[in-house]
Amino acid sequence: MTPLGGDRAAPLGGGRIGTWTKLPALESVQIAAHAGFDFVVVDQEHAPLDLRTAYELITVAAALGTTPLVRVADGAPSGIQRLLDAGAAGVLIPHVDTVEQARDAVAAVRFPPVGRRGAGGTSRAGRWGLRSREEYLATGEDALCVPQIESREAVGNAAAIAAVDGVDALFVGAADIGLDVAAAPSAPEVTELCGAALRAAHEAGIPCGAATATARGAAALLAQGFDFVVVSNDTSMLAEAASSVVHTIRGNGGPS
């Protein structure tokens, strides 16, 4: 699989695998890094992770050589700016349905003249003022802007969204597309819509990612042509392991 989107999008090309981080625990990121995940996505959309917790998880991931991304709760520029200043390598922005929303996302990620992000060179991204202004501003050029395609409308606009200057990759949310069209994520209609978004991203020369609960599902998505995959999450992996232990013991006639 050939990485798409140039050097900036390289962390999301070539079959990279990551996982969602939902627990406010540094150990989650450490375990993911030591297990070999290429990136982690700190999940502020579907987990109660505040800015300070995200900051700590980002710091640990970066220190261990694992790319730290954040799925923000929404496209609010103030939240995106603070996460990038905290050192996040990029953001996934939920429910980007239109070109206008994609442009707003880019504006929140990029410094002027491309965007409207404010300068905060005394932040972690600026090494607390030790980086030169030029070095700090370069972090804005490198930051990944990844709109999430999660509705029939978004799929219809995927080609135009992918073509917006400053969009580095698309991320397809099959579960939310399924909700939008009143079908299961595995339904043929949803599969076709996800495939259409994937084709739109590749025609624009940028990577496209998706999420799945299992390793087998991840392998299938990569075989389908997705460039990066988010597999399971820290809470589900812990829950499944705990459930397996109890089931194995009690299922084999152990104490109840």
Catalytic residues: 46
Residue type, 64: L
Is the bond preceding 113 in cis, omega lying within 30 degrees of 0?
Answer: yes
Structural contact between residues 164 and 193, judged by C-beta atoms closer than 8 angstroms: no
80 Cβ neighbours under 8 A, 6+ residues apart = 72, 91, 93, 105, 108, 109, 117
- What end-to-end distance do the CA atoms of the chain give, in Å? 49
Query: Residue 92: beta bridge partners?
Result: 71, 146
